[in-house]
Amino acid sequence: MARVAMRGLNKKYDEVHAVIDVNLEIRDQEFVVLVGPSGCGKTTTLRMVAGLESITGGQITIDEKVVNELPPMDRDIAMVFQNYALYPHMTVYDNMAFGLKMRKFARPEINRRVQEAADILGIRELLKRKPRQLSGGQRQRVALGRAIVRHPQVFLFDEPLSNLDAKLRVQMRVELKKLHERLGTTAIYVTHDQVEAMTLGDRVVVMRDGRVQQVGDPMELYNQPANRFVAGFIGSPAMNFVPVRIAAQNGSLWAESESLRIKVPAPIAPRLGPYAGKQATLGVRPEDLRIANGADTKDLSFDVAIEVVERLGSEILLDVAAGPTTMVASVEPNVTAKVHERVALAINPDRMHFFDMQTEDAI
Amino acid sequence: MATYGSASTVALRQQYVPAAQRGPITRLLEDERRLAFCLMLPTMVLLALFIAYPFVNGILLAVTDTRVGMPGHFVGLDNFTKIWRDDIFHVAVWNTCLYTFVTTVFKLVLGLWLALLLNRHFRGKAFMRAFILLPFIIPTVLSTFAWKWMFDPTFSVLNWVLFHVGIIQTRINWLGDPVMAMVSVIIVNVWRGVPFYAISLLAGLQTISPELHEAAAIDGARAWNRFRHVTWPLLLPVTLVIVLFSVIQTFADFQLVYVLTGGGPANATQLFATYAYQLGIGTGLLSQGAAISLAIFPILLLVVIVQLIYIRRAETL
């Protein structure tokens, strides 16, 4: 069990500044997910923690001990790789036992630990097989087994589920969560899949272009995205963005574009005050839009043309056009809207987001 | 454009000619066995002409008493009993085995070492990889003549260097001394053979995922253990194939020894191939030369069979 801290962490290659000033405190027993599009520096960060990548600047500590110069074997970590990296010439048992053998554990202890891990992961009957005789999911379990037999201070996961098919991925995700609950080992998990990040992470770190964009628990990222990037990255389908002009009229603020005119709700209005007469970006999630009925005020609704109707069973996604901007609305499955129909959509006033046009920061 | 259009229409129409309208040859080739035979024919002709015919001819020659300018008569296994009692032949067998064994060990060890170095990232990597192949690319006879000059008793640059560095006090008679002659021949063979090992093993190394080394490093394996437990077992099938090729080539090596020592001094570096040449072409005893060449065959066959068994076992690891 351990805390991991990164302070002013930087990684520069010849031409690329892959990781820029990352500061992160990971608490004991915490499951932290690094998420972001490819090339955002999340894997490089993880590899620096593992000791597989040298550190250009800053500091990494594991339990207050600076590990910058320590080789991977002395950091007391275990890593699960994207392609599993199982030793193809060894049996499942030997794959799991290798780390213990290298650390000169006694044979009975190795045996006990491997059996224990095999029981936890339900791979006891596979111990004599070679990796190539296993399915993707089974290999994944062996890779996990190899990590947990060592009882390391920190688990590092590098996109461990991305090679599995969609159904198995969901299943393994749940198992990983249970496993973490059972073992309580501090874990750092890298993924590009925001659903994985939201479901697994106690806290989620969103990265882009080498920089941390926001750190927070999943609901915090969803409800209060720090900037437009996080707002667009977290949540599926993604948040709609509409460029608007903020106008002051009759003592209240209005967000206006060619096709809509929405009254800014009173709680947000003070923050938007300085933007009166200027441009901003309105962000609204598909699930915060619904078909307007007679009771809805004109102030919070606007007319759209339906272009595509996607019936997903539990919900319907409407791809709509409001003038030049296209948006997605997630509505109740009993809505009978048809393509080419014109409807009015109402915005949930408590869940409107505004972003600065230049900095893209949340207002 | 118009002509192009009509041409493609014709081509299209030809594709759909009904079976009855096709020519007799086309119909014959419809049978897969006949087609396969036709496709293999060129290879079979080449193999028959350049491998099977000389081989059979060699066997026929070995059971006669043919000499240059004298068509021989059938003498059965006389030639084989003769060479079996021939002391020089025994020396050649021993020399060939020693030569093959020692060079193979050195080529493997040095080649592997070089391959491991070349597998790292460094500036000028591509250049070095190409550069390393030079001894292998230069025609053996040419490079061996260069070596012969370096081994020259009077003008030897090796002696000059060793003397001036202070390692030796007197000149080494590289090619004149029986032991040193064998050492010299082995040095040149190793020098020439290492690039082949290095590049082939490098190709093998590059198929091993770097993630495996990272996993092993995290698992607590230091460099030597990573090599022993990860690299070496995964490289073994490739290594065995390379060694197999190399052993076959070295066992039948000719030009290097022929140029450097001609098998001397006093047969100290006499190999199968040089002795067969000396007896068959040099002395004109064609049938005995053929018998010596054929004597390599069962030995090599044994080597090949043993190694193929090992390769199969390594691959199913």
Q: Same structural domain for residues B39 and B188?
A: no
Is B194 part of any domain? yes
Is B114 part of any domain? yes
What are the DSSP calls for A48-113, one per residue?
Answer: HHHTSS--SEEEEEETTEE-TT--GGGTTEEEE-TT----TTS-HHHHHHHHHHHTT--HHHHHHH
Q: Which helix (H) or strand (E) holds A328?
A: strand A325-331
CA dihedral (B268, B270, B275, B278) positive or negative: negative
Checking if the pLDDT of A6 tops 70, the result is: yes
Is B129 part of any domain? yes
CATH for B149: 1.10.3720.10
**Segment A201-220 mean pLDDT:** 92
Is B251 part of any domain? yes
pTM: 0.79
Q: Same structural domain for residues B43 and B181?
A: no
Instruction: Show residues of chain B in contact with A88, CB under 8 Å.
Output: 234
Q: Which domain holds residue B32?
A: 19-52
Q: pLDDT tens for residues B215-230? A: 999 998 888 999 999 9
Integer angstrom CA distances of residue B71 from B17, B62, B65, B74, B290: 60, 13, 8, 10, 14
Distance from C-alpha of A299 to C-alpha of A261, rounded to nearest angstrom:
7
Q: Which helix (H) or strand (E) holds A137?
A: helix A136-148
Is B64 part of any domain? no
Checking if the pLDDT of B66 tops 90, the result is: no
Shortest CA distance from A99: residue in chain B: B219
Shortest CA distance from B314: residue in chain A: A89
Block residue for tokens 């020692």: B102
Strands A261-263, A279-284: pairing is: unpaired
Q: Same structural domain for residues B39 and B187?
A: no
Q: Same structural domain for residues B180 and B34?
A: no
* E runs forming strands in A184-227: 186-191, 203-208, 211-216
CB of A89 within 8 Å of a chain B CB? The answer is yes
pLDDT band at B2 (very low <50, low <70, confident <90, very high): very low
Instruction: Show residues of chain A in contact with B207, CB under 8 Å.
Output: none
**Segment A280-309 mean pLDDT:** 89
CB of A13 within 8 Å of a chain B CB? The answer is no
Checking if the pLDDT of B87 tops 80, the result is: yes
Instruction: Show residues of chain A in contact with B218, CB under 8 Å.
Output: 50-52, 72-73, 77-79, 99
Is B223 part of any domain? yes
Checking if the pLDDT of B1 tops 50, the result is: no
Q: Same structural domain for residues B145 and B34?
A: no
Is B191 part of any domain? yes
Q: Same structural domain for residues B34 and B171?
A: no
State the best of A98, A150, A154 to mutate against chain B, taking most chain B CBs within 10 Å: A98
Q: Same structural domain for residues B40 and B96?
A: no
Q: Same structural domain for residues B108 and B226?
A: yes
| Inter-chain touch A79–B234, beta carbons under 8 Å | no
Structural domain count of chain B: 2
Is B39 part of any domain? yes
Q: Same structural domain for residues B35 and B127?
A: no
Tally the residues of chain B.
317
| Inter-chain touch B217–A98, beta carbons under 8 Å | no
Q: Same structural domain for residues B272 and B153?
A: yes
pLDDT for the residue B115: 93
Rounded to a whole number, what is the largest CA-CA distance in chain B?
90
Q: Which residues pair with A65 in a beta bridge?
A: A62
Q: pLDDT tens for residues A121-161? A: 888 899 999 999 998 889 989 999 999 998 899 999 999 89
